[in-house]
Structure 1
Amino acid sequence: MLPEDLRNHFLTWQCRIRQIAMREQEGRPGQGMRPRVLDANGEQLSAGIIVLLVREDSFESTEFLKFQVQKYNDPQDVYKKALIFLQSTHYHRAAEFSDEMTGLFSKGSELVQRMMSGGNVTLEFAQFSQTYQVPCNTRLLPPEEAAYEATLWHNRVFNPNIGSDIEIVGFQPDWDAAAGLMDGSAKAAS
């Protein structure tokens, strides 16, 4: 499979499983949104982390979620309003999303240190008989970056206790390497 085709297929799949999670699981992350994390040597760093997809132009959705979190005192009200938004057309167009996924972690987390030490990890996704091995370059997002804000406010919808002692990691896929892994797996299976 060509890298660009793999990228598009993966993003479409990710949007679909997120639609299902929002509509049928009340926003709880499905298995395909919680990839296993491996270091460059194939050693497991985590059995599963939650990653988000962020829109290329995330300003409106971030502002909506931020407004909901700041407007309502009751976390259930925030959750209900945000879930209606995320259930609607938010995940309908995969082309509107960046392929860089993000994850929110506690500041000083050993996992973050280990993911950042090599500069890259492989995320293994699986759900509905679909699997992907996606090598990614890792980076810490600065607080002023739009993807940082989008990740922070999305997470606060589901966990209002998130403070400012966090780090947000960006996972930028290497689609050429991912396509190579997929082609290698297909040849090994035949």
Structure 2
Amino acid sequence: AGDLAAYTVVWELRLPRVVLAAVVGAGLATVGVAVQAMVRNALADPFVLGISSGAAVGANAVILLGAFAGLGVWALSVSAFVSALAATAVVYAVARSAAHGLTPLRLILTGTALAYGFEALTTVMVFGAARGEAARSALMWLLGSLGGATWARVPVAAVTVAAGWVWLRARAEPLNALAM
């Protein structure tokens, strides 16, 4: 009975988290390098540009407010992705609206400023949550919890990361040229 319990804990709880963490880490590393090349700044990453903070707003809208509930298990992912795209568009539009045009430095500074704004919105949403468990879930998501990892979720993440890697790899030459 002890061996079965240990097997279940390792195989069904721990190992999916480890594998998902590796897949997500690979995806974040790939996106980070691509963003640095596109922005032509070694400091650029999804956190500095406000993309991650924008995703957090969307994820918290699902967790705390029940937004996009009609999408079922995909609500959190879709909301985070859509709000990350929206945050990217807002950062780009604000940085580009300056009199001297868009520069890598202006993009970084605009992204950093707007990231704090998105984080403030996320904080207001968490503290305004009427239900304690929802606020706890939102904070755990923000901290990068992999508590919900299952073997069923690993292939979805792996395919998404692999597709993104293949797409970026096919565009390696232009990205390398930008990095120069």
More strand by share: 1
Q: TM-score normalized by structure 2? A: 0.29
More helix by share: 2
Q: TM-score normalized by structure 1? A: 0.28
